[in-house]
Structure 1
Amino acid sequence: MIKYRLRCDAEHSFDAWFRDSAAYDKQAGAGLLTCPNCGSAAISKALMAPSVNSSKKKSNRQSAEETMPAVSQMPPEMAAIREKLVALRKEVESKFDYVGKEFAEEARKIHYGETDPHGIYGETSSDEAQALMEEGIEFTPIPWVPKSDA
């Protein structure tokens, strides 16, 4: 696990955990990161100092276990937000059709009347999301709590 300090275009800072740096890159590239304060999707990594463990006797696993916050250690307002995000994911998964990486194509079919209107969710690239916006196709990027955290 890796923790990044992130910042939105409104200068709000917040921490986020990712499985690895590739997971951050994938979520950022897909426009899936949003500011918990204002909802902005313009997110970037903030300048951070590396965490250095002075004790070489501990294994990497022990160090990660000791420094990774558990849900019960989260500030109450962050735990409440996380609970709402878990509930949002469950609501979306129960009421909308998952279309995976075909999200942009399916959204266009609905918008242009090629298929019956229905709720969908999935993934799309930031370029495709921009193209959908330019076409006037309404959608909402949402912060997604991974199933392993739900």
Structure 2
Amino acid sequence: MKVFDLHCGQGHIFEGWFGSEADYQDQQQRGLLECPVCGDGAITKGLSAPRLNLGAAAPQPPSSEASAAVSQQTRGLTTLPGNAPEKLRALQAAWLQLSRQLAQASEDVGTRFTEQALAMHRGEQEEKPIRGQVTPAQAQELVEEGVPIVPLALPKVSGETLQ
């Protein structure tokens, strides 16, 4: 089992578990990898430390070649101060939890959001919590009609259970 630290284009960091490196590559090529926080599909593999049980030999310092490879891989990554990685993970976990709560407490009406929101606002349909997708023009129409909307970027996995 391979456990990789994965990064999305928005800077979110999360773990991915794969049967092998080939399994990771296959899923990456087929576009199956997605950030659980924002749904971004631009996923890259970060540095991960393997755990190897090779005995009790003292660890050897990295070679200059290994140091150069790590330096090459980390070039351009932002270094976070102090306990920022823990705070970032806690913030991501809180956002995912809130996303799941919002998804469970509302109905996903997809692209029918504008029609249903307008119908509820005009009293033609019983009000209920809904979520869905709108274009910028549809959002403008809703705002001009006085429909109270809040744009949220909920991850696709909000209603699903993650391991």
Q: Which whole-Å CA distance do the structure 2 matches of 1:149 and 1:76 have between them?
A: 22
Letter in structure 1 aligned against 2:118: R
Q: 1:78 aligns with which of 64, 78, 88?
A: 88
Misfit runs of 4+, over 4 Å: none
Q: How does 1:69-148 map to 2 (within 5 A)?
A: 75-147=85-157
Quote the sequence identity (%): 22
The answer as to whether partners of 2:8 and 2:40 remain within 8 angstroms in 1 is yes
- CA, structure 1 residues 139+115, in 2 after alignment: closer, same or farther (shift >3 Å)? same
Structure 2: runs of 5+ lacking an equivalent = 1-6, 12-37, 43-68, 78-82
The two structures have a TM-score, normalised by structure 2, of: 0.46
Letter in structure 2 aligned against 1:18: D
SS of 2:128's equivalent in the other structure is coil
The two structures have a TM-score, normalised by structure 1, of: 0.50
- CA, structure 1 residues 85+149, in 2 after alignment: closer, same or farther (shift >3 Å)? farther
Q: Which whole-Å CA distance do the structure 1 matches of 2:100 and 2:10 have between them?
A: 26
Q: Which whole-Å CA distance do the structure 1 matches of 2:120 and 2:136 have between them?
A: 20
Structure 1: runs of 5+ lacking an equivalent = 6-15, 21-54, 56-62, 68-72
* RMSD over equivalenced CA pairs, Å: 3.5
State the number of aligned residues: 94
The answer as to whether partners of 1:85 and 1:145 remain within 8 angstroms in 2 is no
